[in-house]
């Protein structure tokens, strides 16, 4: 028992004691680096299997893992997948395994290590991973999945949030049903905040004399940064720059939206019920200047209206009534349904029935693969691409795990949208609504980021079809500090009724003293964020690559970057070995889920960073050179005895 | 607010100032024929000095009726409204908003330039003060070039001078205060006593401004402006001036 030094008595019902479980996260300007460390000791007279099983956000990149077993340290190295496997097969660790497995949870992956340790032996695990925070519905969320599995003598979570723009609010919702009320301690300053969560052993107990831990869930932090002052934030540091853009004080752009809903037999039951419930709320949220219609499909394709209708109260009531009556049955003809939706929007556009300042969206909701009509997914994708006009964005929501999610992702990514997986259960409705709310308020169209200076290179996607209120567009790139004193950016976009040009200048040393002052700030955040963004975008570009050669080229770049930035991506694996190199474990990521920037709302494109649209170059006559009535500076020098006349 | 009127034909600067109550809105330019109005709303200093509360322009409103466009410029934000839609920027941005013929260009923490096509432009300067100053508040300045083509019926405290009045200044003499020469000015059939003084042009030196010598008209410009300054109060930021 270890209780003598902590004063707390721990039963020895458990042969393995969790001596400490520590989680530390640092979020610097949306770039989050998390370390999970666990120390255990085998108290029993028998060898014991010890498991280190943590959930990390899908799309996070693991950057390091170390394990110390009875003084023998295993360190990790990132290798190309096949190389990693070869190394592993040469020297399999005995009684030890490691691996990344796909979890059934919506947006998590499991990193699991299992090791067999001798009586009295100690083991320490430490995992590092990094991820980017995407702004959704007006805030960033940082989720830490805590599942130590047993009571921990020392349990502590520390999260530091460092945001140069200033933290507008920070909220830690109760996600443990009140069990840890008052335990999370929040301290928040203007640009920095700290959340600590350090339950004692007694507080960890499910009940006063239980030996199970109640620490089994997610600690969630929600925050946003200050935006009133400026629409965009350009942060430069260490030869990289990151550009955040999330203007708010703009009027919503009218949208023409078509809901394409799968009503095939497989939707029967809770899926359809939840979808109908969501649609009723979504329709209520439409604005008066929006136009909409509903296409529902199984082996047949039906429409509520054959063309777009203004979102008046009466029309919305009628559409809701139509949706409530839907009875799911039959097969799934995605191809025809999408082509019908595209036809309706194209027709309206050709007949000039659309507000020239509006945006057009299609939201596809489906829970399965096509079973009727065109079945070949690549053909469907091609049909859509050939028919859809450039002013339409396609978003796909795949319910459950029978739908080919990769197909939906490709389908949306190449049509200015994204795909999202929806869990088919009792909160399908809230997931559908939450997704819709992310695209319900288009504020800008054709947003383009330009960095006119030639020494700016490797810019990530910098041209975006839409910008939706509550979200944020992030662009990053490289520059040569020796050649620049300040970095200039020009963002061009079109709002509801105006064209917008936003110029930002960032000084080279803007962040220097800010970051140097805070030991928790990650001085490397710009490089990490750039790498994260670039690799994720390349992953999707790879899935859309038109030729094998193009795909190979992208694969090569991703691999090079993954190795250079020491992160586990779908193309690399982590080899964990002891000093002698005669014992190895292998952890490689789930192969099939090349999700781009999970949580990001945008898939954009790249345009030359210096190509500012011509209309944005027309600048007015310089303000200072204006001759004016009443205040024209005179050349004559006033007689010395004249003094100021203040006023009457 | 202080007014400086430059009269190109007589090559003279005439100045006056008006102090009124915070919240009052003064008509600067009112041109119903072109559908253009420019009004300024007064903001007061934090407290009186020497028993007198100074007032400044804290907000300017431009109404371009034919474009159905309103631009409100305060010391915090710049809002362009077109019909029912609006876009807002802050003085912390360097940005341009354009809609049809109207272009609003913001230079961070310095100036806003509002242009209407090629024929009209206005320049607005932001004067930021130390936030904790016990008396001073942020305020705005507006500059209107003589090249702006208003209709002959344009009016308002500035608009009326788009048609240059004839003035004759004579009998320059030492003033009551030896250091402030005085003179007589005949204008609009009136004979006024004016005082030689200095005002400021902040466009080139935004902190200290450039001295502009001028003949100062007393009593809130009485005699030099048509009627009384109170005639120029308007109810809304986008109102046109009602003339007798």
SS3 letters for A375-430?
CCHHHHHHHHHHHCCCCEEEEEEEECCCCCHHHHHHHHHCCCCCEEEECCCCCHHH
Predicted confidence band of residue A519 (pLDDT cuts 50, 70, 90):
confident
Mean pLDDT of A203-224: 93
Encode pLDDT of A609-633 as tens digits: 777 777 776 444 333 333 333 333 3
Lowest mean pLDDT among A110-119, A307-316, A413-422, B129-138: A110-119
Dump the DSSP string for A463-479: EEEEEETT--EEEEEEE
Question: Would you say residue A3 has pLDDT above 70?
Answer: no
Is the pLDDT confidence value at A13 over 60? Answer: no
pLDDT attached to residue B206 = 82
- Whether the predicted pLDDT of A93 surpasses 50: yes
CB A437 within 8 A of CB A137: yes
More confidently predicted of A271 and A583 = A271
| Mean residue pLDDT across chain B | 92
pLDDT the model gives residue A5: 43
Task: Tell me which of A421-425, A643-647, B191-195 is least confident.
Answer: A643-647
Structure tokens at A426: 């009792």
The answer on pLDDT for B183 being more than 80 is: yes
Higher pLDDT, A99 or A642: A99
For a pLDDT cut of 90, what percent of chain A falls above it? 55
Contact B13 A498 (CB under 8 A): no
Chain B within 8 Å of A351 (Cβ-Cβ)? Answer: no
B145:A628 CB<8 A: yes
Write out the two tokens for A545. Answer: 């690559």
* Contact residues, chain A, for B204 at CB < 8 Å: 624, 633
Interatomic CA distance for residues B131 and B118, integer angstroms: 37
In 3D space, the residue among A65, A133, A56, A140 whose CA is nearest the CA of residue A98 turns out to be A65
Q: B96 contacts in A (CB within 8 Å)?
A: 499-502, 616, 619
**Which B residues, 123 through 162, put their C-beta within 8 Å of a C-beta on chain A?**
123, 143-147, 158, 161-162
Which residues are CB-contacts of A467 (< 8 A; sequence separation ≥ 6)? A245, A247, A442, A443, A444, A445, A447, A473, A493
Rg of chain A (C-alpha set): 28
Q: How far apart are CA A261 and CA A276, in angstroms?
A: 10
Nearest CA in chain A to B4: A630
Least confident of A57-71, A501-515, A559-573, B116-130: A501-515
Which chain A residues contact residue B181 at CB under 8 A? 641-642
pLDDT at A634: 29
pLDDT tens for A349-368 read 999 999 988 999 999 999 98
Nearest to B161 among A620, A629, A643 (CB): A629
pLDDT, averaged across chain A: 86
Cα→Cα distances A503→A445, A602, B55, B89, B106, Å = 17, 22, 33, 12, 10
Task: Annotate A253-285 with b (16+ C-beta within 10 A) or e (fewer).
Answer: bbbbbbbbbbbbebbeeebbebbbbbbbebbee
Cβ atoms of A253 and B86 closer than 8 Å:
no
Q: What mean pLDDT do residues A1-11 have?
A: 43
Is B96 in contact with A230 (Cβ distance < 8 A)?
Answer: no
pLDDT digits (tens, 9 = 90+) for B135-154: 999 999 999 988 888 999 99
Contacts of B87 in chain A (CB under 8 A): 249-251, 495-498, 500
Would you say residue A6 has pLDDT above 70?
Answer: no
Which chain A residues are within 8 Å of B145, Cβ to Cβ? 626-629
Our CA-based measurement puts residue B244 at a distance from the nearest CA of chain A, in whole angstroms, of: 26
Task: Flag if B6 and A228 touch (Cβ within 8 Å).
Answer: no
The pLDDT of residue A24 = 97
Question: Can you give the pLDDT at residue A589?
Answer: 65
Distance CA A155, CA A213 (A): 11
- What is the per-residue DSSP string for A514-557? HHHH-TTS-TTHHHHHHHHHHHHHHHHHHHT-SSHHHHHHHHHH
pLDDT for position A107 = 67
> For position B144, what pLDDT does the model report?
93
Beta bridge partners of B47: none
Please report the sign of the dihedral spanned by the C-alpha atoms of residue A349, residue A354, residue A359, residue A362. Answer: negative
Q: Give A287→chain B minimum CA distance, Å.
A: 13
Per-residue pLDDT tens for A27-63? 999 999 999 999 999 988 888 888 888 988 888 888 9
Rounded Cα gap, residues A439 and A443, in angstroms? 10
Task: Please say whether the beta carbons of A265 and A300 come within 8 A.
Answer: no
The partner residue sitting opposite B4, judged by closest CB among A230, A504, A631, is: A631
Residue A573: what pLDDT? 86
- Residues B58-94 have pLDDT tens digits of 999 999 999 999 999 999 999 999 888 888 888 988 8
For the segment A275-328, what is each residue's pLDDT rounded down to a tens digit?
999 999 999 999 999 999 999 999 999 999 999 999 999 999 999 999 999 999
Condensed to tens digits (0 to 9), the pLDDT of residues A580-594 reads 888 888 887 665 544
- Asked if A623 lies within 8 A of B113 by C-beta distance, the reply is yes
| Other Cβ atoms within 10 Å of B210 Cβ, number | 15
In this complex, the residue of A497, A619, A626 whose CB is nearest that of residue B143 is A626
Give the confidence band of A71 by pLDDT, cuts at 50, 70, 90.
Answer: confident
Q: How confident is the model at residue A4 (pLDDT cuts 50, 70, 90)?
A: very low
**Tell me: the pLDDT tens digits for A180-197?**
999 999 999 999 999 999
Average pLDDT over residues A235-241: 90
Which of A569, A546, A547, A575 lies closest to A557 in space, CA to CA?
Answer: A569
> Residue A348 pLDDT > 80, yes or no?
yes
Return the number of CB contacts < 8 Å for A and B. Answer: 174
Q: What is the mean pLDDT of residues A449-458?
A: 90
> Could you tell me how many residues make up chain A?
648
Predicted local confidence at residue A624, as pLDDT: 34
pLDDT at A641 over 60: no
Which ipTM score applies to this complex? 0.75
Do A157 and A175 form a contact (C-beta atoms < 8 A)? no
Write down the pLDDT at residue A104. 52
Task: Give B-chain residues touching A229 at CB under 8 angstroms.
Answer: 90, 92
B-chain CB neighbours of A638 within 8 Å are 198, 211, 213
| Residue A349: φ, ψ to 5° | -65, -45
pLDDT of amino acid A424? 80
Q: Which of the four pLDDT bands, split at 50, 70 and 90, describes residue B185?
A: very high
């Amino acid at each position: 028992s270890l209780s003598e030094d902590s004063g707390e008595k721990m039963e020895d019902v458990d042969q393995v004691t969790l001596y400490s479980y520590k989680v530390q996260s640092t979020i610097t300007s949306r770039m989050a680096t998390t370390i999970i460390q666990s120390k255990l000791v085998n108290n029993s007279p028998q060898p014991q299997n010890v498991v280190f099983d943590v959930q990390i956000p899908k799309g996070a990149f693991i950057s390091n893992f170390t394990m110390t077993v009875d003084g023998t340290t295993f360190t990790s190295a990132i290798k190309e997948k096949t190389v990693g496997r070869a190394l592993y097969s040469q020297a399999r660790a005995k009684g030890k395994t490691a691996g990344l497995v796909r979890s059934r949870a919506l947006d998590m992956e499991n990193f699991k290590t299992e090791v067999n340790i001798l009586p009295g032996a100690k083991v320490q695990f430490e995992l590092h991973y990094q991820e980017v925070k995407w702004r959704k519905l007006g805030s960033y969320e940082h989720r830490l999945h805590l599942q130590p599995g047993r009571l921990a003598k020392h349990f502590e979570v520390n999260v530091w949030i460092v945001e140069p723009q200033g933290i507008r609010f920070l909220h830690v919702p109760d996600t443990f049903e009140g069990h840890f009320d008052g335990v999370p301690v929040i301290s928040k300053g203007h640009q920095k905040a700290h959340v600590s969560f350090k339950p004692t052993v007694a507080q960890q107990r499910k009940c006063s004399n239980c030996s199970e831990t109640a620490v089994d869930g997610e600690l969630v932090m929600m925050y946003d940064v200050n935006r009133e002052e400026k629409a965009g934030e350009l942060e430069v540091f260490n030869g990289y720059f990151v550009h955040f853009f999330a203007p708010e004080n703009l009027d919503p752009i009218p949208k023409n939206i078509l809901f394409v809903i799968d009503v095939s037999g497989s939707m029967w039951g809770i899926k359809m019920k939840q979808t109908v419930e969501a649609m009723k709320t979504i329709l209520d949220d439409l604005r008066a200047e929006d136009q909409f219609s509903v296409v529902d499909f199984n082996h047949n394709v039906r429409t509520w209206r054959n063309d777009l209708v203004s979102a008046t109260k009466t029309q919305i009531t009628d559409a809701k009534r139509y949706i409530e009556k839907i009875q799911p049955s039959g097969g799934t003809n995605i191809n025809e349904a999408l082509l019908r939706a595209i036809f309706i929007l194209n027709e309206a556009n050709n007949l000039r029935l659309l507000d020239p300042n509006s945006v057009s969206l299609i939201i596809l909701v489906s829970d399965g693969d096509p079973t009727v009509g065109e079945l070949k997914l690549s053909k469907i994708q091609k049909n859509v691409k050939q028919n859809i006009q450039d002013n339409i964005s396609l978003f796909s929501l795949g319910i459950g795990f029978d739908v080919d999610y990769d197909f939906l992702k490709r389908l949306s990514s190449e049509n200015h949208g994204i795909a999202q997986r929806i869990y088919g259960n009792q909160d399908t409705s809230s997931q559908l609504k939450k997704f819709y709310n992310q695209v319900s308020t288009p504020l800008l169209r054709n947003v383009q980021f330009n960095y006119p200076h030639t020494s700016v290179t490797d810019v990530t996607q910098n041209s975006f079809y839409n910008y939706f209120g509550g979200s944020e567009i992030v662009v990053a790139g490289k520059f040569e500090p020796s050649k620049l004193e300040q970095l200039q950016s020009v963002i061009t976009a079109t709002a509801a009724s105006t064209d917008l040009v936003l110029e930002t200048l960032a000084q080279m040393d803007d962040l220097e003293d800010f970051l140097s002052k805070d030991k928790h700030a990650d001085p490397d955040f710009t490089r990490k964020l750039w790498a994260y963004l670039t690799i994720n975008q390349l992953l999707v570009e790879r899935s859309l690559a038109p030729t094998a050669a193009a795909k190979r080229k992208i694969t090569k770049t991703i691999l090079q970057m993954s190795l250079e930035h020491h992160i586990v991506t779908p193309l690399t694996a982590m080899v964990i070995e002891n000093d002698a190199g005669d014992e190895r474990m292998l952890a490689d990521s789930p192969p099939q889920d090349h999700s781009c920037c999970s949580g990001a709302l945008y898939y954009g494109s790249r345009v030359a960073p210096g190509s500012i649209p011509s209309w944005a170059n027309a600048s007015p006559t310089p303000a200072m050179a204006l001759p004016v009535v009443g205040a024209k500076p005179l050349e004559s020098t006033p007689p010395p005895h004249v003094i100021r006349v203040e006023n009457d | 607010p202080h007014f400086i009127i430059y009269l190109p034909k007589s090559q003279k600067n005439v100045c006056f100032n008006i102090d009124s109550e915070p919240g009052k809105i003064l008509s600067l330019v009112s041109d119903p024929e072109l559908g253009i109005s420019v009004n300024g709303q007064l903001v007061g200093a934090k407290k009186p000095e020497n028993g007198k509360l100074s007032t400044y322009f804290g907000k300017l409103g431009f109404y371009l009726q034919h474009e159905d466009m309103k631009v409100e410029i305060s010391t915090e934000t710049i809002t362009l409204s077109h019909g029912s839609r609006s876009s807002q920027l802050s003085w912390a941005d360097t940005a341009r908003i354009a809609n049809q013929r109207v272009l609003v260009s913001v230079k961070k923490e310095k100036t806003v330039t509002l242009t209407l096509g090629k024929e009209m432009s206005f320049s607005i300067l932001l004067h930021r003060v130390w936030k904790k100053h016990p008396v001073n508040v942020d305020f705005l300045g507006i500059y209107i070039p003589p090249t702006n083509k208003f209709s002959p019926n344009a009016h308002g405290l500035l608009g009326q001078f788009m048609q240059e009045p004839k003035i004759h200044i004579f009998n320059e003499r030492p003033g009551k205060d030896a250091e402030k020469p005085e003179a007589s000015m005949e204008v609009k059939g009136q004979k006024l006593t004016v005082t030689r003084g200095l005002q400021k042009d902040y466009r080139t030196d935004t902190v200290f401004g450039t001295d502009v010598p001028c003949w100062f008209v007393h009593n809130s410009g009485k005699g030099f402006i048509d009627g009384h300054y109170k005639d120029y109060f308007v109810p809304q930021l986008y109102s046109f001036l009602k003339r007798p």
